[in-house]
Structure 1
């Protein structure tokens, strides 16, 4: 059972992406994206990854054994809920991200009993859907940073990591996990702000 303390909720300052998206080992870029309904999500992902690897070809991205897509020399992860997506790109350490649209979660207690320890279950029972979604996004991001899925959770290791949760507008919450002991310098990008 997973019973970690929840990470702090930080208030992002979404900005237009910089022309130079240089990453160093202590930098984290977080992107708030809207997925066009007629474009496959992998095409959208590849478009943004080209900001970091301009020569990225058209072949499908390779995937680790747990299903996480990867590229040599670039740590990234992404998540989408409906047409909302969040992309995390790290300058050095493995990263995982998850986003969920805020909504009623009638199965939150059953899901909590299956995946979370007693202390976290008790908090969720007392505080409701929003806290459950924060806990779930943190849990998924933590697993994804390790390259494993929810159903492979027994393979997860208690690795040292930095984590934060953050709102994505007023309708979603996301969490990000970086497998590094210290907080990275975070930049929050929203390309739609350019329009």
Structure 2
């Protein structure tokens, strides 16, 4: 993964290559809605932000309208005033971002919605480690579900995630071959957790931080 800070989208004018995924870290002020997302997509499309048209899939996943062609796909996630946007070609990405925060009910949630093995593993960890591990498993699940175009109603226990110092791995996904999937931990600082998922071959992830246009 390549991290590049302080870039304007115009400085990365070329679309992602066939072996790349561009991931942008954006500031999303309260009340900004989809504004930062549309501005970024507009740069890739070479049009004004107000000309960008999005549609929603069956389960609410946003995508570019067919009027923009099918060269690019994207996914985005936001937490607090931060957002991540993945821009790709020829695959459907899923990305999720969660700011670090304590969840008193993390183990209870895991026991209710995760697999029995994952909940048991979380139960062996000390409280601080457990909260971090829970958020990592949560963002990884969300990323996979977004790449599938599905929501949480798909069932969080229908997939299993493995996490260790070497990274993330999809161990089980009902109705699909987990070996056909890529799941990556994203380094977005000590205050947040993020994951990126897609079905297909490995790709080079280029991580950018959007600079202040001023």
Query: Which band: TM-score by shorter chain?
Result: 0.7 to 0.9
For residues 34-84 of structure 1, the C-alpha deviation after alignment (integer angstroms, 9 at most, x for no partner) is 112342x21211111112212365465210001001114221100001111
Q: How many residues align?
A: 183
The secondary structure found in structure 1 opposite 2:103 is: coil
Could you list the per-position Cα deviations for residues 139-187 of structure 1 after superposition, in whole angstroms to 9, with x for gaps in the alignment? 000000010101233796434210111231221010000111x221111
Deviates more, 1:29-38 or 1:95-104: 29-38
Q: Is the CA contact 2:97–2:192 (under 8 Å) kept in the aligned structure 1?
A: yes
Structure 2 residue runs without a partner (length 5+)? 159-172
The TM-score, its normalising length taken from structure 2, stands at 0.77
Give 1 or 2 for the bigger CA radius of gyration.
Answer: 2
> Is 1:63 equivalent to 2:83 in the alignment?
no
Distance in 2 separating the partners of 1:89 and 1:59: 15
Q: 1:158 to 1:124 in 2, by over 3 A?
A: farther
- Alignment of 1:84 with 2:82, yes or no, is yes
What TM-score comes out, normalization by structure 1 length?
0.84
Determine which structure has the larger helix proportion and give its number: 2
Map 1:1-195; keep pairs closer than 5 Å. 13-15=3-5, 16=7, 17=9, 18-39=11-32, 41-55=33-47, 57-58=50-51, 61-71=54-64, 72=66, 73=70, 74-125=72-123, 126=125, 127-153=129-155, 157-159=175-177, 160-180=180-200, 182-192=201-211
Q: 1:173 to 1:14 in 2, by over 3 A?
A: farther
Partners of 1:178 and 1:189 in 2: CA distance? 19
Structure 1 unmatched ranges of 5 or more: 1-10
Deviation at 1:189, TM superposition (A): 0.7
Q: Which has the higher contact order (CA 8 A, sep 6+)?
A: 1
More strand by share: 2
The CA distance in 1 between the partners of 2:186 and 2:150, in whole Å, is 22
Q: Secondary structure at the match of 1:13?
A: strand
Counterpart Cα distance in 1 of 2:117 and 2:75: 29
Q: Which runs of 4+ in 1 moved over 6 A?
A: none
Could you tell me whether the CA contact under 8 Å between 2:25 and 2:82 is conserved in 1? yes
Instruction: State the Cα RMSD in Å.
Output: 2.3
Query: Cα–Cα, structure 1 residues 29 and 59, in superposed 2: closer, same or farther, change >3 Å?
Result: closer
